[in-house]
Amino acid sequence: MMNRKVDIIKDADGKSIVVINDLRFKGRRSVDWNIVEDCLKEYIAQRS
């Protein structure tokens, strides 16, 4: 997932939220959560 923008932010309750600013999700009305899961796995593997 090189050159992808992923941010981890906190909500008002202090819980973590992952924000994926990736063109593969832009403009989609429905999101395939399996693709999101794969994207997060790539990001985690890259950071390990």
Token duo for residue 20 = 């994926």
Residues 13, 31: Cα–Cα separation, whole Å: 25
The pLDDT tens digits of the residues spanning 24-48 come to 666 667 878 888 888 888 877 776 6
Domain count, the chain: 1
**How many residues in total does the chain contain?**
48
Full domain range(s) for residue 26: 5-47
| Local structure of residue 14 (DSSP, 8 states) | S
pLDDT of 1 strictly over 50: no
pLDDT of amino acid 20: 75
Task: Decide if 47 contacts 6 (C-beta within 8 A).
Answer: no
Measured CA to CA, the distance from residue 48 to residue 46 in angstroms comes to: 6
